[in-house]
Amino acid sequence: MTDRRAEAVAVLARNLGHEFRNPALLEQALTHASVGEGAERDARGRPFLDNQRMEFLGDRVLGLLVADRLMRDLPSADEGEMSSRLHALVDKAACARCAEALGVGPAMRLSPGEAKQGGRRREGVLGDAMEAILAAVWLDAGIEAARVVFEKAWAQELAAPARKSLTNPKSALQEWALGQGRPLPTYRIVERTGSDHAPTFTVEASVAGYAPLTAQGRSRQDAEKAAATGLLQREGVI
């Protein structure tokens, strides 16, 4: 680990407020899948483990922690209201904002190519790493430790006014466009980066008469949904 990155990892650990008994868990959570494409090895000559499996677990850990918090914070809310609030708190954009505030980007281990392409600032990369970090804390010290990190990392998101979440943002954008007397929205892939097994898509959503908006996702569909949501938010629809 370079001195600069080691310093960034130390800063991140302080910001998390969790002292890892097994620091290798945090290191794995910060290792992007692109690293596995190169020849980089750990001190024992083994390939670095990336954070994809941890991201899978962390997604579920986050969902549980958010659901538990909402049950306590919204005692009178119905299932629909809580579901909408949950989706807004666990979506990739929210995870990326939390990661950026904690300083996850500079602490990440990326391939030279991914780093050169701006991976340390990429929403999908940061969001996945944030979920992986929650999983790492869970594996290191259990649910209560993960809850402490979640409460700290998501403090601003939890305090912010509820963001409306859409089950199908592309349909919502289509309905809005037609309501404005415009043709159906169009989508185009602006860029595809990353490896075949961990790609990142940048997609542009356009509605005639309005400035287009671009967003990223782990799949073309995810990127299209993110772009549709962003356009609706920018125009004040949601």
Pairing of strands 186-194, 199-206: antiparallel
- Residue-wise pLDDT for 133-181, tens only, equals 999 999 999 999 999 999 999 999 999 876 655 668 899 899 999 999 9
Task: Provide the pairing of β-strand 213-217 with 199-206.
Answer: antiparallel
The residues that are catalytic are: 59, 131
- What average pLDDT is seen over the chain? 88
Going by C-beta distance under 8 Å and a sequence separation of 6 or more, which residues neighbour residue 5? 106, 107, 109
Query: Sorting pLDDT into bands at 50, 70 and 90, what band is 228?
Result: very high
Q: Reply yes or no on whether the pLDDT at 42 is more than 60.
A: no
**DSSP state string for 150-189:** HHHHTHHHHHSPPPP--S-HHHHHHHHHHHTT-PPPEEEE
In this predicted structure, the answer to whether residue 1 has a pLDDT above a threshold of 70 is no
**Considering only the top CATH level, what class is 3-159?**
mainly alpha
pLDDT at position 63 is: 95
Fold entry, domain 169-234 = Double Stranded RNA Binding Domain (3.30.160)
Q: Quote the CA–CA distance of 34 and 43 in Å, as a whole number.
A: 19
Asked whether 184 and 209 are in contact (CB, 8 A), the reply is no
Instruction: List every span in the chain annotated with CATH 3.30.160.20.
Output: 169-234
- Beta-carbon contacts of 133 under 8 Å, excluding residues fewer than 6 positions away, are 16, 26, 29, 30, 58, 99, 104, 149
The reported pTM is: 0.72
- What's the whole-number mean pLDDT along residues 209-222? 90
The whole-number pLDDT of residue 66 equals: 96
Q: Which of 45-54, 213-222, 224-233 has the lowest mean pLDDT?
A: 45-54
- Kindly list the distances between the CA atom of residue 178 and the CA atoms of 7, 149, 185, 208, in Å, as whole numbers in the listed order: 52, 44, 9, 11
Q: Which 3 state secondary structure label does DSSP give 39?
A: coil
In this structure, how many other beta carbons lie within 10 angstroms of the beta carbon of residue 142? 10
pLDDT tens by residue, 101-137: 999 999 999 988 888 888 898 888 999 999 999 999 9
CATH 1.10.1520.10 residue window(s) in the chain: 3-159
